[in-house]
Amino acid sequence: MDHPIYFIFGCHSHQPTGNFDHVFQDAYERAYKPFLDVFEQYPGINVTLHFTGPLLDWILANEPKFLGRLRELAHAGRVEMMGGAYYEPLICAIPERDSIEQIQRMIAFCEKHFGAPPRGMWLAERVWEPHMPRILAQAGVEYTALDDAHFQYSGHSADSLFGYYVTEDEGYAVKVFPILKQLRYNIPFRQVHETIEYLRRHRDPASPRCAVIHDDGEKFGVWPETHTSVYEKGWLAEFFQGLLNERDWLRCATYSEYMADAGALGRTYLTCASYEEMMEWALPPSMQRRLKRLKDEAAADPERAEELALFTRGGFWRNFMAKYDESNNMQKKMLFVSRKIAKVPKSKQDGAYEEARRLLHEGQCNCAYWHGVFGGLYLNHLRTAVYDRLISAEKAVDSLTRRGTQWGASHVLDFDADGHDEVILENARASLGFSPRDGGTLFELDYKDKPFNFCNTLMRRDETYHDTLREGLPQEADGGGHSIHEIVRAKEAGLEAYLVEDPYRRASLRDHFLDAGVTPQDLRACAFEERGDFATGMYMAATKQRSASFTREGWVTRAEGQSVAVRLTKTVQLPRDASAFQIRYAIENLSDNELDTVFAVEFGVNLLTGSSPDRYYCSDDANLNSAQLGVLTRWDNLTHIALRDDWQRLGLSIRMDRAAAVYCFPIETVSQSEGGQERIYQGSAVLPSWPLRIPPGKQAALGLTVEMTDTGADN
């Protein structure tokens, strides 16, 4: 029998939880709808489509007829709808119980709207770990698709990737298809005949081979220049027609059609992997640069480069949580909330419980938890959306497990899994997370009433793509034919001036001892001398039900070089049913020399933008002229300063019991996006500061009150 080669053409379409409505609409108009418009004109072409939960929710609410079109195509056998974990989490990063629930949530949606349960599952970012077959099989998944890299790293040759394998864990088996990198890079960036010739070369008339391309639906209209090339210049129509022209030896099929005609190539066990670029992004920048040098050196010899690719790889997805503390913070918050939900007794698993589960699942959407060629973690609105869902879920579950609002609690636990205990103070309206190890800082400040995490900042770091700015190489793409990985741009001139690396996370209650002449410019540029060893030092913690104290004995170095021994204690009290908390500082001079210094308390606060007139500073003491949050300045003699957000109707106020000089500067990162490298506001640093002269054996006391408010209640 003369067998055709089967061509499985799959699209995975996704918009993350919290993305702007206009982004959903634009992607629908530029990619999802026109793809279907063209596809419907070519009977004989069958495809597999996957849409994630956030996108399906948006389509159902805004373009419901689109779902009807998909249902008709599915009934006609032209489209196979692929399932997945509903809100597109990374299975490796969430509890198994949540993974199964998310997969089954998608199965239920597909049964309701497309008439049948999906047999397959899209695995977010193709992040694979060997225990996953057990989870997928228990959730009802028969097959999935992974990159060819997964198979090659596990010992498969390139020629053995034209079919599917079976893998298992504890006897739970699933089928796995290799997605071919060459096709990912060809489609839709190369000429149609190149893909046709690739398929022709890999056909074997003696066996029913298949070649799989399954990649982002956004490549067909949203990625730079692709709407023009794919639709206006007709690439997609030409591609479909080109496939039909070769139907005597080429069959466009779905996964299920191929499995009906061909058996598995064998059993395999796949190593931890993702697609090649993701594994590179997971590496620390220094290791990324070493890997790039190795590949560049090998590129001169294509045969050696191909051989090298089989045995070299980047990192492991979970390393993003080591690379970015802010990612780890979100993931551990998610686990904390998930455990709370899992403990709800069955007698209380009502509508509020189901809503808490849904919100938790939304907060597990993967995009904000990592960073690669696009913004991801660097996009503060995506992080904000994650915290919004997680805090909402936590508030919902608290209402089921706590009596009323007159409660308060403290927890001492290794929240972030770094081997050191953190402290959490919470009540019905607020949750505060402290790191004794990292300067006794406040790393999370959740306002449950809204819900919002005021400490959702991002520190400025080295990224490998910054090299192009330092070397002065930003360049414009030349009008098309480029993968997103090949495009280098800068969205504004002078971005290299913003390549500052922070020495610590931009948390709150970070304690500084400074020289009197320090300026806001010095603070923003990290061009000042830290006179004490308190900012990142280890503090000893002690807790009560509604309070925690943090103490450190350390040193402050005077300008003339003498060191003064200092004991600093800060005590935080969170009353019941309050969104305000008090901080009391006691700074004691333990030496025989006078302590003459400037003491500053840093707050890192993110209200999403520093350049909008509805986000501004104000004070009860002075007219600050509604200075926007991106201002770089110092105000003197203030006992009160507030950051206001009139769009979200949020406010954070800081009251000092002693007049302070208040330094303010924006925290701005340079990150990569679809349009190029750009500046992104990640919060504002606010530092009330006081000159202190403390004689030997004496101490100074300072007090602050921080209040989170719903400013809509002011009107």
Active site residue 216: yes
What's the CA angle centered on 517, arms 515 and 521, to 5 degrees?
105
The C-alpha atoms of residue 591 and residue 693 are separated, in whole angstroms, by 13
Alpha carbon 70 to chain centroid, angstroms: 30
Q: What is the DSSP string of 182-220?
A: HHHHHTTTS-HHHHHHHHHHT--TTS--EEEEEEEGGGT
Of the residues 80, 98, 101, 125, which is catalytic?
Answer: 125
Active site residue 297: no
Q: For residue 693, list its beta bridge partners.
A: 596
Q: For residue 686, list its beta bridge partners.
A: 603, 664
**Residue whose tokens read 């003197």:** 636
Of the residues 63, 96, 216, 621, which is catalytic?
Answer: 216
The C-alpha atoms of residue 464 and residue 450 are separated, in whole angstroms, by 37
Backbone angles phi, psi at 710, to 5 degrees: -95, 100
Task: Specify the 3-state DSSP secondary structure of 357.
Answer: helix
Nearest to 146 by CA among 312, 51, 7, 271: 271
- Residue at 650: amino acid letter: L
Token duo for residue 193: 């005949």
Is residue 253 left, alpha or beta, with left meaning phi > 0 and alpha meaning psi from -120 to 50? beta
DSSP 8-state secondary structure symbol assigned to residue 367: G
Whether 537 and 439 have beta carbons less than 8 Å apart is answered as: yes
| Residues 141-158 as b or e (16 or more Cβ within 10 Å = b) | bbbbbbbbbbbbbbebeb
Longest dimension (CA), the chain: 96
The C-alpha atoms of residue 552 and residue 436 are separated, in whole angstroms, by 9
Structure-derived torsion over alpha carbons of residues 70, 75, 78, 83, reported in degrees to the nearest 10: 60
The C-alpha atoms of residue 324 and residue 329 are separated, in whole angstroms, by 9
Whether 574 and 408 have beta carbons less than 8 Å apart is answered as: yes
Give the helix/strand (H/E) hosting 293: helix 285-299
The C-alpha atoms of residue 422 and residue 431 are separated, in whole angstroms, by 13
The C-alpha atoms of residue 282 and residue 321 are separated, in whole angstroms, by 9
Nearest to 525 by CA among 460, 608, 598, 610: 460
- Beta-sheet strands, E only, within 114-261: 120-122, 143-147, 165-169, 172-179, 210-216, 250-253
Whether 128 and 150 have beta carbons less than 8 Å apart is answered as: yes
The C-alpha atoms of residue 343 and residue 341 are separated, in whole angstroms, by 5
**Residue whose tokens read 């003459």:** 596
Active centre residues (catalytic):
125, 216
